[in-house]
Amino acid sequence: VIIDIVFIVGAYLIGSVATAILVGRAMGLGDPRQSGSGNPGATNILRIGGKKAAALTLCGDLIKGVIPVVVARWLGAEGWILAAVALATFLGHLYPVYFGFRGGKGVATAMGILLALMPLLGLSVLGVWIVVFAVMRVSSLAALLAATSAIPLVFALSASSSLRALIIVLVILILWRHRSNIQRLLDGRETPFKKS
């Protein structure tokens, strides 16, 4: 039990490393929570600081989703404990202990978690994101449709009940964190990225 708690707390501490805030500091862009959409994530860093900064942020947040799951599984965690490790990583990103508990929306970190836990599901969801973004150029819409698609997909693939429960919780939290985006999408005020 103690080792399980170590996994879960460790995962939360790793999830709390808000790449966007660190990249913003390192590249002199300021705190992404103070500009653009106010979200510390790759999309907002793309708005504020361009592609290189965004790519760094995306990689950091994605890898952060992968590492705790891979390490915990390698050390013997499975089933509900592994799902708890994944959730703790994700909650670290949303509510980072080092940054006043004001974190991001969890899309890249959830993507890393999915790729590590269920590569087929991860790649399918990533495919949905890429197609929607390529067509619509709106990151939040791509994230919302990709996240929602994970629910039927996880039921279609024969996943364990712990993984199904994890995916449902992650999707609900992603939708919740995008509530202002959803409102903007409904009002037609969510601005697309220009093709470049």
Give the interface with ligand G3P as residue ranges (CB under 6 A): 37, 39, 41, 43-44, 105, 107, 139-140, 143, 181
CB of 140 to ligand G3P, least distance (A): 4
| Residue number with CB closer to ligand G3P (81 or 86) | 86
CA 64 – CA 62 distance, rounded (Å): 5
The 3-state secondary structure of 151-187 reads HHHHHHCCCCHHHHHHHHHHHHHHHHHCHHHHHHHHH
| Residue number with CB closer to ligand G3P (44 or 124) | 44
The 3-state secondary structure of 104-170 reads CCCHHHHHHHHHHHCHHHHHHHHHHHHHHHHHHCCHHHHHHHHHHHHHHHHHHCCCCHHHHHHHHHH
Q: Please list, in sequence order, all residues whose beta carbon lies within 8 angstroms of the beta carbon of residue 107, skipping any fewer than 6 positions away.
A: 41, 129, 143, 146, 147, 174
CA 69 – CA 73 distance, rounded (Å): 6
> Are 42 and 63 in contact, with CB atoms under 8 Å apart?
no
